[in-house]
């Protein structure tokens, strides 16, 4: 079969419409796995990642200011200010489209002749306006081509997606089941099930004009059932790839494309360390390639032992983020069972003893949880400061299918169920006005400690 004979697919990662967004190794990994899989099945794949900062149509000096980028492949997105959606008109903050402007998206769509389908992914529930915009642009160019929507928003809010996204079909399955479902829809035949994750082709990072970093997953799922996390619904079981297969993928991207920065997307990267990640890191160390590894998703504090810390340091971890969430151990009993008293301090001690610096360590703290006070967050910030560890405030987003969902709906002034825009963490939907008013003070405190640490 020649390239001309192959049926053509457009795969789209929409832009983000929000008050704030930042690129922490943000790549649509599920969509890239799907691209690699469907390419192997005989489709000609056109990837349109609207968040790609290296899109050839974007140039400084046009109408957009070039985004500032940081070391190791993080930084700001291209952005332009847009009107706030009607439900968020009362929030007096600038609202932006992050990613490629609509005119460039239209140009890219016009370059693709006769696609048989357009596959669109989705991330946060309250980013659905970006999904609507992308699908609307597809309709302008390929009006009669079926649009299939999948991803996190489609799975957490399927009814809303069916009624408002503009897609012809909303796929509620995830992971390998989604791959099989979409392949069946496109091919008109049933795929052998179950697919095996360790038999999938690599995610199609080679479809990007420039590969700056590669994101990896060595496992899906998490043994913890944190009440604020949708992970147990999205990935109810755990599955892991053979460590040597992950090593082969790392070596492939490094040797063929010169990639040196890799970010792990696992939800439970350190679990059963000695039988999984530890085996991978031992092999990485033997290669002596001077690679850099990063953990944008928080790692579990309890799993950090002196042996774990030693391997992480020797393998080249440059960005290590710990999931503390809160320092109020009594209050956290209703949230998760990940950290006990003294474990955070012990883990930081192990990491520093093995050579990790203040610049490389950080901790995530939750703010805006139902029933949480600003004073509780302030205490957690102080706990991180006492250990000389940088902290990042992660505002809580109330999500369907989480254990906190009903409590969040009960305490919020917003109709969280009817309007996913109200699930936006930036508006602190589960705090009252008094607690919300203290958020700038908390952010200022974090920034002050960070500047003090860097001095």
Residue 200 lies in a domain: no
Q: Are residues 64 and 146 in the same domain?
A: yes
Residue 31 lies in a domain: yes
Cα-to-chain-centroid distance, residue 317:
19
**What CATH number is given to the structural domain containing 332?**
3.20.20.70
Domain boundary among 140, 170, 187: 187
Domain boundary among 153, 187, 221: 187
pLDDT for 1: 40
pLDDT for 6: 87
Burial letters 250-261, b for 16+ CB under 10 A, else e: beebbeeeebbb
Residue 276 lies in a domain: yes
Structural contact between residues 174 and 235, judged by C-beta atoms closer than 8 angstroms: yes
Q: Are residues 221 and 167 in the same domain?
A: no
pTM of the complete model = 0.94
Report the C-alpha gap between 366 and 421 in whole angstroms. Answer: 20
Residue 233 lies in a domain: yes
Distances (CA, A) of 19 to 83, 179, 205: 11, 32, 28
Could you count the other beta carbons within 10 Å of the beta carbon of residue 188? 7
pLDDT for 190: 56
* Residue 4 burial class via C-beta count within 10 angstroms: exposed 0-12, middle 13-18, buried 19 and up: exposed
Place of tokens 């709906």: 409
**The domain containing residue 81 runs over which residues?**
3-187
Q: Are residues 227 and 155 in the same domain?
A: no
Residue 355 lies in a domain: yes
Q: What is the dihedral of CA 290, 295, 300, 303, to 10 degrees?
A: -10
Q: Are residues 225 and 178 in the same domain?
A: no
Residue 205 lies in a domain: no
Distances (CA, A) of 129 to 28, 141, 198: 17, 19, 35
Q: Are residues 182 and 219 in the same domain?
A: no
> What are 263's strand-pairing partners?
215, 294
Q: Are residues 87 and 179 in the same domain?
A: yes
**What CATH number is given to the structural domain containing 173?**
3.40.50.280
> What are 419's strand-pairing partners?
none
Q: Are residues 175 and 258 in the same domain?
A: no
pLDDT for 191: 55
Residue 135 lies in a domain: yes
Q: Are residues 181 and 77 in the same domain?
A: yes
Report the C-alpha gap between 186 and 232 in whole angstroms. Answer: 29
Report the C-alpha gap between 47 and 12 in whole angstroms. Answer: 6
Q: Are residues 156 and 218 in the same domain?
A: no
Residue 198 lies in a domain: no
pLDDT (tens, 9 = 90+) of the chain, 455 residues, equals 444 578 999 999 999 999 999 999 999 999 999 999 999 989 999 999 999 999 988 875 567 788 999 889 999 999 999 999 999 999 999 999 999 999 999 999 999 999 999 999 999 999 999 999 999 999 999 999 999 999 999 999 999 999 999 999 999 887 777 777 787 778 766 555 446 777 789 999 999 999 999 999 999 999 998 999 999 999 988 889 999 999 999 999 999 999 999 999 999 999 999 999 999 999 999 999 999 999 999 999 999 999 999 999 999 999 999 999 988 887 777 788 888 889 999 999 999 999 999 889 999 999 999 999 999 999 999 999 999 999 999 999 999 999 999 999 999 999 999 999 999 999 999 999 999 999 999 999 998 877 776 65
Domains of the chain: total: 2
3 state SS for the chain = CCHHHCCEEEEEECCEEECCCCECCCCCHHHHHHHHHHHHCCCEEEEEECCCCCCCCCCCCCCCCCCCECHHHCECCCEEECCCCHHHCCCCCCCEEECCCHHHHHHHHHCCCCCCEEEECCCCHHHHHHHHHHHHHHHHHCCCCCEEECCHHHHHCHHHHHHHCCCCEECCCCHHHHHHHHHHHHHCCCCCCCCCHHHCCCCCHHHCCCCCCEEECCEECCCCCCCCCCHHHHCCCCEECCHHHHHHHHHHHHHHHCCCEEEECCCCCCCCHHHCHHHHHHHHHHHCCCCEEECCCCECHHHCCHHHHHHHHHHCEEEEEEEEECCCCCHHHHCCCCCCCCHHHHHHHHHHHCCCCCCCEEEEEEECCCCCCHHHHHHHHHHHHHCCCEEEEEECCCCCCCCCHHHHHHHCCCCCCCCHHHHCHHHCCCCCHHHHCCHHHHHHHHHHHHHHHHC
Structural contact between residues 323 and 394, judged by C-beta atoms closer than 8 angstroms: no
Q: Are residues 270 and 157 in the same domain?
A: no
């Amino acid at each position: 079969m020649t390239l001309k004979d192959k049926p053509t697919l457009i795969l789209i990662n929409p832009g983000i419409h929000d008050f704030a967004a930042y690129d922490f190794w943000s790549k649509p990994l599920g969509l890239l796995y799907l691209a690699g899989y469907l390419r192997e099945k005989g489709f000609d794949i056109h990837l349109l990642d609207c968040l790609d900062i290296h899109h050839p149509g974007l140039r400084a000096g046009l109408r957009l200011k070039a985004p500032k980028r940081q070391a190791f492949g993080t930084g700001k997105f291209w952005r332009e200010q847009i009107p706030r959606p009607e439900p968020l008109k009362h929030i007096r903050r600038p609202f932006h489209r992050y990613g490629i402007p609509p005119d460039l998206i239209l140009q890219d769509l016009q370059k693709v002749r006769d696609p048989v389908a357009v596959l669109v992914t989705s991330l946060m529930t309250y980013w659905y306006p970006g999904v609507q915009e992308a699908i609307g642009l597809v309709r302008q160019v390929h009006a009669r081509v079926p649009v299939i929507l999948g991803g996190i928003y489609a799975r957490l809010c399927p009814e809303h997606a069916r009624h408002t996204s503009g897609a012809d079909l909303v796929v509620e399955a995830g992971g390998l089941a989604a791959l099989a479902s979409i392949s069946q829809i496109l091919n008109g035949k049933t795929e052998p099930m179950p697919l095996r994750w360790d038999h999938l082709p690599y995610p199609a990072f080679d479809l990007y004009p420039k590969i700056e970093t590669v994101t990896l997953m060595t496992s899906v799922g998490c043994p913890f059932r944190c009440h604020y996390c949708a992970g147990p619904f999205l990935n109810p079981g755990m599955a892991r790839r053979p460590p040597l297969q992950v090593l082969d993928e790392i070596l492939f991207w490094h040797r063929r494309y010169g990639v040196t920065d890799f970010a792990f997307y696992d939800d439970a990267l350190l679990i059963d360390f000695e039988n999984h990640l530890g085996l991978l890191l031992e092999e990485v160390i033997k290669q002596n390639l001077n690679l850099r590894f990063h953990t944008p998703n928080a790692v579990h504090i309890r799993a950090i032992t002196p042996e774990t810390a030693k391997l992480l340091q020797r393998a080249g971890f440059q960005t290590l983020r710990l999931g503390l969430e809160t320092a109020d151990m009594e209050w956290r009993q209703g949230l998760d069972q990940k950290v006990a008293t003294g474990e955070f301090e012990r883990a930081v001690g192990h990491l520093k003893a093995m050579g990790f610096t203040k610049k490389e360590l950080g901790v995530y703290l939750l703010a805006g949880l139902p029933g949480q006070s600003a004073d509780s967050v302030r205490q957690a910030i102080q706990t991180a400061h006492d250990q000389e560890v940088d902290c990042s405030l992660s505002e809580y987003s109330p999500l369907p299918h989480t254990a906190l969902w009903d409590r969040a709906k009960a305490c919020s002034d917003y109709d969280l169920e009817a309007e996913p825009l109200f699930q936006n963490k930036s508006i602190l939907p589960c705090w009252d006005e008094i607690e919300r008013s203290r958020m700038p003070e908390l952010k200022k405190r974090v920034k002050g400690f960070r500047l003090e640490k860097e001095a």
